[in-house]
C-alpha cells in the first residue's frame, strides 16, 4: 500500500512539472482566449451602438411626423369648418397611434427590435398615405 501511495505521489509530482514548450503553449492559449473575449465584447458593443443608432433614427422620424400632425391640426382647428374638424379628429387618432409606436420603439429590446422596426416602418408608410390624402383633400 505504501508503494502505491509513493508511485501515485511521484506521478503527481512529475505531471506537475511542465516543460517550457508546454508553458509557452499554455500562455498562447490564454492570450488567444483573452483576444477572443475582447473581440466578443467589441462585437457586443458595436451591436449595442448600432441598435441605439437605429432606435434614435426611428424615434426622430416618428417625432417629426407627430410635429407635422400637431401643426396641421392647429391649422385645421383655426379654419373651424366641419370638414376641418373631422380631419383634425382623424389626425388626432393618427397622432395617438404614432405616440404608442414611439413608446414601443423606445422600449424595444434587441431581441424584438426587428419586428418593432418593421411595424414602425409600416405605420410610417400608412401615415404617408393618410398624410397625402389629407393634403389632396385640402388642395
Domain boundaries, the chain: 37-137
Given a contact cutoff of 8 angstroms between Cβ atoms, the answer to whether 55 and 113 are in contact is: yes
Q: Which is more confidently placed, 34 or 89?
A: 89
Q: Is the pTM of this model over 0.75?
A: no
H-helix or E-strand spanning residue 37: helix 20-79
Kindly report, residue by residue over 20-62, the tens digit of the pLDDT.
666 676 677 767 767 766 666 666 666 667 778 888 888 898 8
Distances (CA, A) of 54 to 42, 92, 127, 129: 18, 26, 20, 23
pLDDT, residue 14, reads: 56
Q: How far apart are CA 5 and CA 24, in angstroms?
A: 31
Alpha-carbon radius of gyration of the chain: 32
Kindly report, residue by residue over 53-88, the tens digit of the pLDDT.
888 888 898 899 889 888 888 887 888 778 778 888
Angle between helix 82-107 and 20-79 (nearest 10): 170
Amino acid at each position: 500500500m505504501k508503494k502505491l501511495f509513493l508511485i501515485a505521489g511521484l506521478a503527481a509530482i512529475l505531471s506537475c512539472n511542465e516543460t517550457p514548450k508546454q508553458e509557452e503553449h499554455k500562455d498562447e492559449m490564454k492570450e488567444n482566449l483573452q483576444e477572443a473575449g475582447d473581440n466578443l465584447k467589441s462585437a457586443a458593443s458595436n451591436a449595442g451602438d448600432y441598435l441605439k443608432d437605429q432606435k434614435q433614427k426611428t424615434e426622430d422620424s416618428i417625432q417629426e411626423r407627430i410635429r407635422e400632425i400637431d401643426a396641421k391640426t392647429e391649422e385645421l382647428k383655426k379654419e373651424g369648418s366641419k370638414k376641418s374638424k373631422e380631419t383634425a379628429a382623424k389626425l388626432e387618432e393618427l397622432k395617438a397611434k404614432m405616440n404608442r409606436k414611439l413608446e414601443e420603439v423606445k422600449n424595444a429590446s434587441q431581441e424584438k427590435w426587428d419586428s418593432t422596426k418593421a411595424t414602425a416602418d409600416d405605420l410610417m408608410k400608412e401615415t404617408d398615405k393618410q398624410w397625402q390624402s389629407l393634403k389632396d383633400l385640402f388642395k
